[in-house]
Amino acid sequence: MKEEDFIKEIESIERDVSDFGIRYPACQYFHERAKYFSKSQLDKAVKLFHQIMEDKFEDKAE
């Protein structure tokens, strides 16, 4: 995936996760999308997904 497309995907992930009302598994979220990422891009995207998800639901737990 081109770098500019990767940045758009990252922005999309951030928007999607902000709309989630429950914890959502990364494997389900990336199931159909994974084939579009290079290995390093997928690793970065999944790490970001987990970080955003953790931050979002950590705030709700307090």
Predicted structure pTM score: 0.84
Contact 60, 20 (CB under 8 A): no
In this prediction, residue 58 carries a pLDDT of: 82
In this prediction, residue 10 carries a pLDDT of: 95
Domain that holds residue 50: 3-61
Q: pLDDT of the chain along its 62 residues, tens only?
A: 999 999 999 999 999 988 888 888 999 999 999 999 999 999 999 999 999 999 988 866 55
Query: Tokens standing for 10?
Result: 């990252």
| Structural domain count of the chain | 1
In this prediction, residue 8 carries a pLDDT of: 96
Inter-residue long-range contacts of 52-57, CB under 8 Å, 24+ positions, other chains counted: 52/13, 52/14, 52/17, 52/18, 53/17, 53/20, 53/23, 53/24, 53/26, 56/17, 56/18, 56/20, 57/23
- Cα distance from N-terminal residue to C-terminal residue, the chain: 38
In this prediction, residue 40 carries a pLDDT of: 97
